[in-house]
Amino acid sequence: MSAVAASDPGFAIRFFEAANQLPGIRALKPLMLDRLGLRRGDRVLEIGCGTGDDAHAIARRVGPDGHVIGVDASPAIVAEANRRSAGRNGSVEFRVGDALALDLPDASVDRCRMERVLMHVAGEPAGAIAELARVLRPGGRAVVFDFDWDALVVDGAAPELTRRIVHSYSDGVRHGRVGRALARLLRDAGLGDVSVLPYAVEIPYDFFGWLVSGHLDAALAAGRFMPKERIGWWDELDAVHELGRFFAAIVGFVVAGTKPAAAE
């Protein structure tokens, strides 16, 4: 999110709010909160808070004695989160921050949530997970979700060309295959009790076009595809969409882990 937001925060807000309305993403959010194991009074960190809806959902669960800190790399998006938060109940604050260098003390939060952030982080994902583990208190829990763009499936167009387009798109995302690495990253950062839940999000045709078109335009300009390939591919997908048979989905992984309790 941060790379997009830095170049055009207005577009980033519109795009991610549209993504958040996808049924699969809407169903993902309570699932992640359930796996986070929130308790009344918890201090919770939301990395990649966007405009703040998830932080407020967390605040409702931790209650008035809890506290939620939302961090995002984009000053414009944090400003929007603060604007939308004005007058709302709950102990929630929003800060500009870097997932790779969190401005928080060691062992200062009980829970941490991160959704669709690592694929865009401007550095190694392992560094962001190490920071997450650093700020968790012993016994604290983290839940992370991200996609694996090599696992984008599209039905209705030529398979070989579709594979090329999927791999090209995945290669165009800074960390396009980070989803498959999440369990390893959490374990390498010292978290235990790591659980993995594969999770697919269906992508409707209109949003799919918004998602893929920009990349295909850039790939065409770079000579990775021929104009007739791009046109033919969209023609095939248009045709199956008109028949009500278009299907696309992207697989991601919900991965949870717990920081070991301090030795007595």
Question: What percentage of the chain has pLDDT greater than the value 90?
Answer: 90
Residue 10 to residues 17, 63, 121, Cα–Cα distance (Å) = 11, 31, 19
Residues 97-112: pLDDT tens digits?
999 999 999 999 999 9
- Contact residues for 122 (Cβ-Cβ < 8 A; gap 6+): 2, 3, 73, 100, 174
**Average pLDDT of the residues in 76-103:** 91
Residues 124-141: pLDDT tens digits?
999 999 999 999 999 999
pTM of the model: 0.93
Q: Which residues of 221-245 are buried (b: 16+ CB within 10 A; e: fewer)?
A: eeebbeeebbeebbebbeebbeeee
- SS3 assignment, position 9: helix
Please state whether 123 falls in left (phi above 0), alpha (psi between -120 and 50) or beta: left
Residues 36-77: pLDDT tens digits?
999 999 999 999 999 999 999 999 999 999 999 999 999 999
CATH H superfamily, domain 2-258: Vaccinia Virus protein VP39 (3.40.50.150)
**Average pLDDT of the residues in 234-248:** 97
Residues 109-128: pLDDT tens digits?
999 999 999 999 999 999 99
